[in-house]
Amino acid sequence: MAETISLPRADGRAPDQLRPLRFQNHIAPHATGSTLVEWGNTRVICGVTVEESVPRWMKEQKVEGGWITAEYSMLPYATLTRKPRDISKGKLDGRSSEIQRLIGRSMRAALDLDKLGARTICVDCDVLQADGGTRTAAITGAYVALSLAMRKLIAEGKLKENPLVHAVAAVSMGIVGGTALLDLCYTEDVAAAVDMNLVMNGAGEFIELQGTGEEATFTEAQLAALLAVGKKGVRQLLAAQEAALS
């Protein structure tokens, strides 16, 4: 196992400390629910809209309840060098496709789809500024936007009961210089020997765990250390979501 080296973090945080987090709700007035997540220097707009129908495959297979789908994109000016829009390439890039599927899975875990009724929830996450952790910010913000949307549907009499089951939040972790760090910014992310993303719910259950050795391997002890800081971070994120929704 590599020797642990204590290096100062780029922004002076402790190894298990989140970057500053803020939600600015109702940022998109035409959406059913929306929030702007400002997480360190990463900024993501999460908007939820509702369609009063379900996908064709659900009708054909006579599947009861509703559905949640997600789209994720990084605006051209979100990074230091301009990122061309997917439409200019004629197809969605692999990374964006992977992330929007992850957001969709995470939001479906937050909801009782039967209670949603025959409607489709569309979650749109657009990255305004990227400094690491855009997928985890999108998931964490998407839950806040989803909660606001459900409140509005209840207030309008379209839902009799709240279909939300558990809050959902996500955070990144990584091994940098032999140390398990929580919530990596971009410079830490590119330097990480191990990169991990954790999605959990308010019941302390795992929704998704993505872990990769970047040209490296990691031990069971390192995995345990990453999970420890990740779970601590998720608990703090769940509290921040609750505060934003109160």
Pair of tokens at residue 45:
């707009």
Distance CA 98, CA 109 (A): 17
How far is C-alpha 110 from the chain's CA centre? 12
Query: One digit per residue, pLDDT tens: the chain, 246 residues?
Result: 444 445 578 788 999 999 999 999 999 999 999 999 999 999 999 999 999 888 899 888 888 889 999 999 988 889 888 888 777 777 777 888 899 999 999 999 999 999 998 999 999 999 999 999 999 999 999 999 999 999 999 999 999 999 999 999 999 999 998 999 999 999 999 999 999 999 999 999 999 999 999 878 899 999 999 999 999 999 999 999 999 999
**What pLDDT does residue 7 have?**
59
Check: pTM over 0.85? Answer yes or no: yes
Residue 1: the pLDDT is 40
| Phi, psi dihedral angles at 181 (to 5 degrees) | -115, 145
The tokens describing 145, both together, are: 């936007």
pLDDT confidence of residue 11: 85
Q: Dihedral sign, CA of 69, 182, 206, 234?
A: negative
Tokens of 106: 């995470």
pLDDT value at position 77? Answer: 86
Arch. (CATH architecture) of 21-245: 2-Layer Sandwich (3.30)
pLDDT at res. 6? 52
Give which of 70, 69, 81, 203 is closest to 130, Cα–Cα: 81
Residue 2: predicted pLDDT: 41
**Phi, psi values for residue 56, rounded to 5°:** -60, -35
Q: How far is CA 92 from CA 49, 166, 221, in A?
A: 21, 30, 37
Cα–Cα–Cα angle for 50, 136, 92, rounded to 5 degrees:
65
Distance CA 196, CA 225 (A): 12
Which pLDDT score is estimated for 104?
95
Q: Report the candidate in 162, 120, 169, 164 with the shortest Cα–Cα distance to residue 142.
A: 169
Phi, psi (rounded to 5 degrees) for 220: -65, -35
